[in-house]
Structure 1
Amino acid sequence: MATLLQDKYEARKAEVNARFEQLRANEEELNRIFAKIYNMEGEVPIEVEDKYVSVARIFDTADEIPESYKGNKYVRTKRDEITSLLSYAVGCMFGRYSLDVDGLVLADQGTTVDDYLAKMPDPAHVTFMPDADNVLPITDDEYFDDDIVRYFIDFVRTVYGEETLERNLAFIAEALGGKGTSREVIRTCFLKDFYKDHCQTYKKRPIYWLFDSGKKNGFKCLVYMHRYQPDLLARIRTDYVHEQQERYRAQIGYANDALVSAERGERVRLDKRIKKLNDQLKETIAYEEKLHHLADQMIKIDLDDGVKVNYAKFQDVLAKIK
């Protein structure tokens, strides 16, 4: 049955905020009881300030958060809730989570899609399949079949239904904020904000790693560290970066051909596009050399060493954690 994400959000907000007020009421009642026991009624505060209630409270926007809540680390906004949805969706794309079973699914070193299927109640009928090769490309346009935005839209369609897909994507985009169509806003979020939010959630110890060619967004992809295999970098290089370079060359060729008969205004647009594509191609060529150097080493990791140690082994090709 088709479902509106906005309705789900409003229901969650009501539940979370009711829990917030219930905890406050419980704490104030305890204060009254102890004040009475120790004969301190009228001498100690009974009311619990907003910033000291230690469960979540949701506001639609940051502008709606009253001053009295400042300092409460549990306060959340609609954007925070949607960011959590994106994170859960990516977890399903990697097989860390599943729509078919509760809890963690793939969380051991070197696990594969076969391991995922083995944990399903009906392996022949899985609601949402994780990505086969543990590589989710993030580019400024849809170049790959497993493009992360396309995959996310499939997730929303699967969970909430085809009938409400566009309305749900619009709700997600409105919560994230930004310019453009719903899909453009979501793509921008994955390009610019998702990894920063992920690193913040995991206290600078990310479990999804961002391979990043640089500021021109020539090529980015997410991988799940628990599914890492020593040949992963070689596959990223040959199956994705090389393919992306060929697409850039093709796009540059098409744009140059179009310049021949383009009007003045169109020529300006095409010149900008050609420059951008050339910059991205140049960036990916330099990045491919770094990947090649590391891929040839077939580096192994040990999850017991922790994220910091393992991440450092690939620091030349991974996004910097700020």
Structure 2
Amino acid sequence: MGQLISDKFTAWQAECEARFQQLKANEEELNRIFIDIYGLQDELTPEVADKDVTVHRIFNTKDDVPESMKGSNYVRTLRDEIVSLISYAVSCLFGRYSLDVEGLAYAGGEWDSSKYQTIIPDADNILPICDDDYFEDDLTGKFVDFVRVVYGEDTLEENLKFIADALGGKGAPREIIRSYFINDFFADHCKTYQKRPIYWLFDSGKKNGFKALIYLHRYQRDLLARMRTDYVHEQQERYRTQLSHLADALEHASGADKVRLTKQQKKLQDQSRELQTYEEKIHHLADQNIELDLDDGVKVNYAKFGDVLAKIR
């Protein structure tokens, strides 16, 4: 039998609540002891405000956060926990973490493939983020595979729905998860890493013509050349093929179908044009074989790639 993420969340929420209540009780007992020792009964009370207890407390939504916790830095929601799960999954897909060893599996140095048995990290350190299944290693598909492997095939759809419901949005679970990767993952990642991301988002622009994540610590000088050849050029060809099929379909379409196909054609044309401009930028940088010095820090290294990377906000 597979495992339900909802059950795991409920158990984790209860564990955090028990830890919160225990710490609060311990602090209040210590306060009582010191008040008695120093005879401060008329000046102090032992009670500790909920918002001053320094362990996390998890609520289903922001609306469930009680007034007593407002202002606390230790409030988390179901969405926060699901975002953390997604971040961990991406870390496993890049090899930063492994389900088979404790702690960091790789953060630079010599790569040890024996650490990875359950989830095999992406071979080329490039995970494209597409609005359709254009590539075998598309990030949405790889994440779905992660959920399947970790929690089981028979609970996959229920788990994907639980994840999607926590993220919020419209559409089927896979569509919502795909939308999260396209629109929100990098922003959440930058927030977690205080604007010093270790997963870098190559981003062609507002039309989402091309996006791909890489792991900083696995960067190699030829990465951009490989990205250009294996992904950007492939994506351009897919756009050309789809536009050709749409042109044929539009010749025989009418009514609502023609409106739908025309809208789809406009979107792909915009994406294709955006990607053409982006390919030129990637080509220019790929020819430079850019070296990174991790001792310089994320900010300095990130700036070396100009506007082919998403802006850190």
What TM-score, normalized to structure 2?
A: 0.98
Q: Secondary structure at 1:96's aligned position in 2? A: coil
Q: Secondary structure at 2:43's aligned position in 1? A: coil
Q: Does residue 34 of structure 1 match 2:34?
A: yes
Structure 2: segments with no counterpart, 5+ residues? none
Residue 118 of structure 1: how far off its partner (Å): 3.8
Separation in 2, partners of 1:138, 1:152: 11
In structure 2, which of residues 219, 223, 228 is the aligned counterpart of residue 228 of structure 1? 219
* Matched letter for residue 312 of structure 2: I
Q: Secondary structure at 1:239's aligned position in 2? A: helix
- Report Cα offsets for 1:207-258 as digits up to 9, x if no partner: 0000000000110000000000000011111110111011111111111111
Q: CA RMSD in A?
A: 1.0
Separation in 2, partners of 1:19, 1:293: 54
* Matched letter for residue 304 of structure 2: K
Asked whether the equivalents of residues 89 and 146 of structure 2 are also in contact (C-alpha less than 8 Å), the reply is yes
Asked whether the equivalents of residues 201 and 211 of structure 2 are also in contact (C-alpha less than 8 Å), the reply is yes
Structure 1: segments with no counterpart, 5+ residues? 121-125
Q: Does residue 76 of structure 1 match 2:72?
A: no
Separation in 2, partners of 1:40, 1:141: 67
In structure 2, which of residues 183, 203, 213 is the aligned counterpart of residue 212 of structure 1? 203
Aligned to 1:18: 18
Q: Secondary structure at 1:73's aligned position in 2? A: coil
Asked whether the equivalents of residues 164 and 173 of structure 2 are also in contact (C-alpha less than 8 Å), the reply is yes
What TM-score, normalized to structure 1?
A: 0.95
Q: Does residue 188 of structure 1 match 2:179?
A: yes
Aligned to 1:203: 194
Residue 151 of structure 1: how far off its partner (Å): 0.3
Residue 116 of structure 1: how far off its partner (Å): 3.2
In structure 2, which of residues 112, 116, 121 is the aligned counterpart of residue 116 of structure 1? 112
Separation in 1, partners of 2:2, 2:87: 22
Q: Does residue 127 of structure 1 match 2:118?
A: yes
Aligned to 2:252: 261
Separation in 1, partners of 2:183, 2:69: 28
Residue 119 of structure 1: how far off its partner (Å): 3.7
Aligned to 2:102: 102
- Report Cα offsets for 1:27-81 as digits up to 9, x if no partner: 1111111111111014113211121111100000111112221211111000000
Asked whether the equivalents of residues 95 and 116 of structure 1 are also in contact (C-alpha less than 8 Å), the reply is no
Separation in 1, partners of 2:44, 2:280: 67
* Matched letter for residue 16 of structure 2: V
Q: Does residue 149 of structure 1 match 2:145?
A: no
Separation in 2, partners of 1:45, 1:256: 76
Separation in 1, partners of 2:102, 2:148: 20
Aligned to 1:249: 240
Aligned to 2:4: 4
* Matched letter for residue 242 of structure 1: H
Q: Does residue 272 of structure 1 match 2:263?
A: yes
Matches within 5 A, 1:277-316: 277-316=268-307
Q: Does residue 88 of structure 1 match 2:88?
A: yes
* Matched letter for residue 25 of structure 2: A
Asked whether the equivalents of residues 97 and 105 of structure 1 are also in contact (C-alpha less than 8 Å), the reply is yes
% identical aligned pairs: 65
Asked whether the equivalents of residues 100 and 115 of structure 2 are also in contact (C-alpha less than 8 Å), the reply is no
Aligned to 2:151: 160
Aligned to 2:130: 139
